[in-house]
Chain A
């Protein structure tokens, strides 16, 4: 598998086919691990960083946990490729912007991605479409076991898996879901959701941009506590306590919009569709805004000739790195605005 093979392909976790995919775009579980006997990265020499990277890459390869593997030397990769990987959520922004020996190994389906030398020596993630936390954990747990047979992790009986930042220590687990909440945003009830999530000690942030406002209707909710609870408890709390409520609120809000404000919602949805079908220049934020409404329209059955999957594709392919990869060259923001509009017109007409 090569990086260029991915540029016209939808990542499996964006297929829009998983449970509750109309609201839960994707589920992610990430584990943080460090190799025993080495300092954390802030105290590593370049030589040590390289040793760690080689050790882990060797162990992961020998473990045979990645089907049709894709390996990227992030240190050597050009900026455009790193941005492309960030957009596909295969690496974090931090990993893209870092320095020194660092790598990424993924399976061909892009459901598993392992970052070597990010904040910790190893960060392993499983991404799944819709709400599928339990099966995502089973997968990551199995991979963790296979790697751990070949590399000793920094671990203490008292504190568990030892991580560079104490906020990850213990299980080293980060459970997140990416949510699409346009109706709650429209009715202004989103603030209540934020508050409820914070009260449950969950972190919530806006996606596709900075802060909770940017990017509009997409939010990522994650656990913050990693110590003193088992992985299963953490997932269960997350799965049972707050996420079903948020999903339920969004469902009710969507139904209420259709029942009571049919004309208003139809007007919004079809204006967005019309705009994206005709526009000649589109910025990222404008695209996100309209795609979000179209996605809502598809789920509500107002727009019948588009699938969630097509809309998800547009989200992915309209990002700057993807547009440039598809064009095979770097582009200015103005050139991208034109290419974005062209790509979207071609898909929607």
Chain B
């Protein structure tokens, strides 16, 4: 981040996005805050990696502490762990970490937050079943680790039933 404090061209927040455009040989400078930059469809440092993006995002978020405490009840991944490793633990994390992830997705994807592309033919009614399978498989993994073999056998049956239904 630049050291000098400069206000956003459009509002009173500090400008964090600095752009130089050359239009018809005229040099044009823009200084915007993140909010206005996103509204203009401009995004920050496009080559920034996910870790750097997370780092910046977290350090600029007041609820950073609360966000760090978000935990997925399916796979046990915490938002803090995600921050450190850069990879999510399971598909459900997109829901579990939504408050923290949505702004992040928007920054990574030019302000977009929703999918408009291809839809798999089996999509739709399956989401609930996917979630349940995920929960059962995580429970199975825990049962095996804790040597609870009867419970593991029961969970295996349940998974099999759900898979073949």
| Contact yes or no, B115 A43, CB < 8 A | no
Q: Which of A161-169, A239-247, A294-302 contacts B (4 or more CB under 8 A)?
A: A161-169
| Contact yes or no, B91 A43, CB < 8 A | no
- Picked from B75, B76, B114, B129, the residue with its CB within 8 Å of the CB of A228 is B114
Q: Which residues of A, 322-346, contact B by the 8 Å Cβ criterion?
A: none
Q: Which residue of B lies closest to A228 (CB)?
A: B112
A249 lies within 8 A of chain B by Cβ = no
| Contact yes or no, B120 A155, CB < 8 A | yes
Q: Which residues of B, 73-91, contact A by the 8 Å Cβ criterion?
A: 74-77, 85-91
- Picked from B115, B124, B130, B134, the residue with its CB within 8 Å of the CB of A170 is B115
Which chain A residues border B76 with CB–CB below 8 Å?
A: 43
Q: Which residues of A, 23-52, contact B by the 8 Å Cβ criterion?
A: 34, 36-43, 45, 47-48
Cβ of A48 to closest chain B Cβ, rounded Å: 7
Which chain B residues border A155 with CB–CB below 8 Å?
A: 119-120, 123, 126-127
Interface residues of B (CB under 8 A from A): 43, 46-47, 50, 74-77, 85-91, 94-95, 101, 104-105, 108-124, 126-127, 129-130, 132-134, 137-138, 141, 144, 163
Q: Which residue of A lies closest to B132 (CB)?
A: A37
Q: Which residue of A lies closest to B110 (CB)?
A: A225
- Picked from A48, A156, A203, A230, the residue with its CB within 8 Å of the CB of B91 is A156
Cβ of B148 to closest chain A Cβ, rounded Å: 15
| Contact yes or no, B126 A36, CB < 8 A | yes
Complexed CA–CA distance, A173 and B122 (Å): 19
Cβ of B19 to closest chain A Cβ, rounded Å: 9
A158 lies within 8 A of chain B by Cβ = yes
Interface band, chain A: 35 or more
| Contact yes or no, A169 B105, CB < 8 A | yes
Which chain B residues border A230 with CB–CB below 8 Å?
A: 116-118
Which chain A residues border B127 with CB–CB below 8 Å?
A: 155-157
- Picked from A45, A165, A226, the residue with its CB within 8 Å of the CB of B109 is A226
- Please indicate which of the listed interface residues B50, B91, B109, B111 has the most CB atoms of chain A within 10 Å of its own CB: B91
Which chain A residues border B138 with CB–CB below 8 Å?
A: 39
Q: Which of A14-22, A97-105, A144-152, A277-285 contacts B (4 or more CB under 8 A)?
A: A144-152
Which chain B residues border A224 with CB–CB below 8 Å?
A: 46-47, 108
Q: Which residue of B lies closest to A147 (CB)?
A: B120
| Contact yes or no, A171 B118, CB < 8 A | yes
Complexed CA–CA distance, A45 and B152 (Å): 14
| Contact yes or no, B87 A148, CB < 8 A | no
What are 20 inter-chain pairs, A to B, with CB distance below 8 A? A36-B91, A36-B129, A38-B133, A42-B87, A43-B77, A45-B144, A47-B141, A141-B118, A148-B120, A154-B130, A155-B119, A155-B126, A155-B127, A157-B127, A224-B47, A227-B113, A228-B113, A228-B114, A228-B115, A231-B117
Complexed CA–CA distance, A339 and B47 (Å): 39
Known A38-B137, A39-B134, A226-B109; contact A152-B126, beta-carbon cutoff 8 A: yes
| Contact yes or no, A42 B47, CB < 8 A | no
| Contact yes or no, A40 B90, CB < 8 A | yes
Which chain B residues border A289 with CB–CB below 8 Å?
A: none
Q: Which residue of A lies closest to B117 (CB)?
A: A171
| Contact yes or no, B50 A228, CB < 8 A | no
The 3 lowest CB-CB distance pairs between A and B, nearest first, are A228-B112, A160-B115, A37-B133
Complexed CA–CA distance, A42 and B87 (Å): 7
- Please indicate which of the listed interface residues B43, B50, B77, B105 has the most CB atoms of chain A within 10 Å of its own CB: B105
Q: Which residue of B lies closest to A31 (CB)?
A: B118
> Hey, what's the 0/1 contact readout for A121-158 against B, CB within 8 Å counting as 1?
00000000000000000000100110011001111111
Cβ of A176 to closest chain B Cβ, rounded Å: 15
| Contact yes or no, A166 B101, CB < 8 A | yes
Which chain B residues border A2 with CB–CB below 8 Å?
A: none
Which chain B residues border A271 with CB–CB below 8 Å?
A: none
> Hey, what's the 0/1 contact readout for A187-226 against B, CB within 8 Å counting as 1?
0000000000011011100000000000000000000111
- Please indicate which of the listed interface residues B77, B112, B116 has the most CB atoms of chain A within 10 Å of its own CB: B116
Complexed CA–CA distance, A155 and B104 (Å): 19
Which chain B residues border A157 with CB–CB below 8 Å?
A: 115, 123-124, 127
| Contact yes or no, A225 B115, CB < 8 A | no
Complexed CA–CA distance, A161 and B120 (Å): 9
| Contact yes or no, B118 A159, CB < 8 A | no
A87 lies within 8 A of chain B by Cβ = no
Which chain B residues border A34 with CB–CB below 8 Å?
A: 91
| Contact yes or no, A170 B109, CB < 8 A | yes
- Picked from B43, B89, B116, B121, the residue with its CB within 8 Å of the CB of A40 is B89
Complexed CA–CA distance, A230 and B90 (Å): 24
A229 lies within 8 A of chain B by Cβ = yes
Which chain A residues border B101 with CB–CB below 8 Å?
A: 166
| Contact yes or no, A39 B137, CB < 8 A | yes
Given A47-B144, A225-B108, 10 more contacts at CB 8 Å? A37-B129, A42-B87, A43-B89, A48-B141, A153-B122, A160-B118, A167-B50, A171-B118, A225-B110, A227-B115
